[in-house]
Structure 1
Amino acid sequence: MNKNDEITKLINKAERGIKTANRNLTDECYDGAVSRAYYAMFYCAEALLLTKDLRFSKHSAVHSAFGQYFAKTGEIKKKLHKILCLTHLIYAAEPITNI
């Protein structure tokens, strides 16, 4: 698969994740909504990193590189990087129903 196909695949996964997150919200499945929203953002970050031929296997590496190559350079707003990282913290925490 070439780079453009990989990017398209990631964006399509992100779009499906957003749709699923919206359905989860409607169904009051909040932990599922957070999970799908996080993964949608994560896939978009991976796609952006691929535009620079950067690939990572760990979420923490994607977060770090996304901040370094996009937020710090001003290519995206820094708050978008923060939102990605904060959403991951929420996703990784206990299910929202237990908070």
Structure 2
Amino acid sequence: MNLIEIKKHLLKAEAKLYAGKTNFQYSQYDDAVSRAYYSVYHAICSALLTKELSFSSHNQTLGSFNKEFINTGIFPKAFGKKIYKLFEIREEGDYDIDSDINKTLAEESIISAEEILNSIQAYITKIIS
């Protein structure tokens, strides 16, 4: 287990969540959702590294997290749904020029990201202690 890489991903996840909250405060909802997703993405990468897994695509990363952590009951199934919703909303916000990401959706994304990040951090703290 590469603790340095795990910690780097967790730090990046925290930074992305902070950026998402800042974007939200300035009503930049597309960017808030994007940062929320990337916070979760980096948290997921850190969790996968505890099993010495790393992938080159987002789909592979999300699929492996589902297989290793959601389907095994380490994290609740609701996380899987929230993660895929974040992924889809992030794509809409980043690529769709007519995206309709509003304050409520952005706020839900930030809340989900924080919940998932906190849970992954607690899991990693528990297994490396």
Alignment TM-score > 0.5, same fold = yes
Deviation at 1:29, TM superposition (A): 0.1
Post-superposition, which runs of at least 4 consecutive aligned residues in structure 1 deviate over 3 A?
none
Deviation at 1:52, TM superposition (A): 0.3
- Partner SS for 1:52: coil
Question: Over aligned residue pairs, what C-alpha RMSD do you find?
Answer: 1.3
> Does 1:8 pair with 2:7?
yes
In 2, the alpha carbon distance for the partners of 1:9 and 1:17 equals 12
TM-score normalised by the chain length of structure 1? 0.93
Higher relative contact order (CA 8 A, sep 6+): 2
Gaps of 5+ in 2: 101-129
TM-score normalised by the chain length of structure 2? 0.72
Aligned-pair identity in percent equals: 32
Q: Give the equivalent residue in structure 2 for 1:82.
A: 81
Q: Give the equivalent residue in structure 2 for 1:73.
A: 72
Gaps of 5+ in 1: none
- Partner SS for 1:57: coil
Deviation at 1:98, TM superposition (A): 3.5
